[in-house]
Amino acid sequence: MAELRTPRRAVSALFFLNGGLYGIWASRIPAIADKHALGPGTLGLLLLLLAAGAIVAFPLAGRASDALGAGRVSLGLGAVYTLTLFALGLAPSIWLLAVALLLCGALFGGLDVSMNSWAGEVERHVGRPIMSSFHAMFSLGAGIGAGSGYLAVQAGLGPAAHFLLVGGAMAVGCLWTGNIGWTSPRRAATTGSPVFALPRGALLAVGLMTFCSAMGEGAMADWSAIFLVVSTGVGEARAALGFAAFSVAMVAVRLMGDRIILHFGAVRAAQLAGLAACFGTALAVVFSGSFWMVLLGFAILGIGYALIFPLAFSRAANDPDIAPGAAIASVATLGYGGILLGPPVIGFVAELASLRVAFGLLALMPLLIVALARTLRTAPVEVSATG
């Protein structure tokens, strides 16, 4: 069985675990809200704790990955993250739920940084682009985790039992696959460098690319169904197909993304991705009265945004001047800021003008990705690793 645990499979397992645990949680949010009698406003505030925990953890996990080794940190965070998921299902009060959400968000964000740092090491070890396939595993894990929620509800399982059975099984398999004894290069933090820092230099442009992509992803997650209802008049069930089309297209492109990047190169791949995202948004806005055209536009949006985060994290992991963990953490901080900012910005513009105008402005963001794509070019970095 040991031959199954290769470096690439080990990292893939951690990406799958991170996405899977998040999908499991997301699928039972309605049940958790019912258990604690949470209204929309209170639930929204509690969910912000997830994001707050992640943003606080990004730089800390980056430093830990550089100092202790990304592989070791990823395995540790994955194990504790699973325990925190159990706490979400067992929390007897809203206050303990809030604490569990903050911790869960921190562990989710910390694992996101460390596993991407580890992925950069394995990518250099393999000697060709493979980051996109890792991000596809995250998306696949999230989808399977979310799907398990449907089956758990059908079987009459409460959140606590669901989290324990499915999350526990997922963690055991993924952590076993990831435990390969990988030795990461270690770099201490620069003396006097701040713990919480935004990217600088070329990485600032890379971070802005992730910010633009995250703005679009956040808007799609929160507003795609509403856009379909408002613009085409379909019901709630058909409106849900909008985000499904976006997500399926994103996973499909990420699965073949490594070959796309290898063929076109990082810069050209990002430029084509930005143009695709711009075209998809414009298609949905111009033909907003047609359900199928909007659906097609959302799918093209997924195609466009699929490669931006893998490209950005790969570039950060290979930065010649900043340690991989710290570089990825700084880019992640700016990127996830876009996920937080995107939905409220869409809502604000929609309130002032219309949802169609808000999505139209969103079409401008991918053009910045095209303009900044050249910053993805960097010289290869030598790395010493075993595994």
Q: How do residues 267-315 score in pLDDT, each as one tens digit?
A: 999 999 999 999 999 999 999 889 999 999 999 999 999 999 999 988 9
Which long-range contacts does 194-198 make (Cβ < 8 Å, 24+ apart)? Answer: 195/59, 195/60, 195/63, 196/59, 196/333, 197/59, 197/326, 197/330, 198/330, 198/333, 198/334
CB atoms within 10 A of CB 357: 13
Give the mean pLDDT per block of 10 residues along the chain (387 residues).
78 94 84 85 79 86 89 95 93 93 92 91 88 89 84 88 94 94 70 59 89 85 80 79 84 91 93 96 92 94 93 88 85 79 76 86 91 79 39
Domain at 202-376, CATH homologous superfamily? MFS general substrate transporter like domains (1.20.1250.20)
The pLDDT of residue 186: 67
Euclidean distance between CA atoms 77 and 61, whole angstroms? 9
The pLDDT of residue 146: 79
Nearest to 347 by CA among 239, 235, 219: 219
Amino acid letter, 293: M
Environment class of residue 230 by beta-carbon count within 10 Å: exposed (0-12), middle (13-18) or buried (19+)?
middle
Helix axes 291-305, 241-264, angle to 10 degrees: 40
Environment class of residue 3 by beta-carbon count within 10 Å: exposed (0-12), middle (13-18) or buried (19+)?
exposed
Determine the CATH number of domain 2-178. Answer: 1.20.1250.20
Euclidean distance between CA atoms 206 and 335, whole angstroms? 9
Euclidean distance between CA atoms 36 and 97, whole angstroms? 9
Q: How do residues 176-226 score in pLDDT, each as one tens digit?
A: 999 988 887 766 555 455 555 667 778 899 999 999 998 888 778 767 878
Q: Spell out the residues 6+ positions from residue 101 whose beta carbon is closer than 8 angstroms to its own.
A: 46, 47, 49, 50, 53, 88
The pLDDT of residue 190: 52
Instruction: Please state the φ and ψ torsions of residue 288, each to the nearest 5 degrees.
Output: -65, -15
What are the residue ranges of CATH 1.20.1250.20 in the chain? 2-178, 202-376
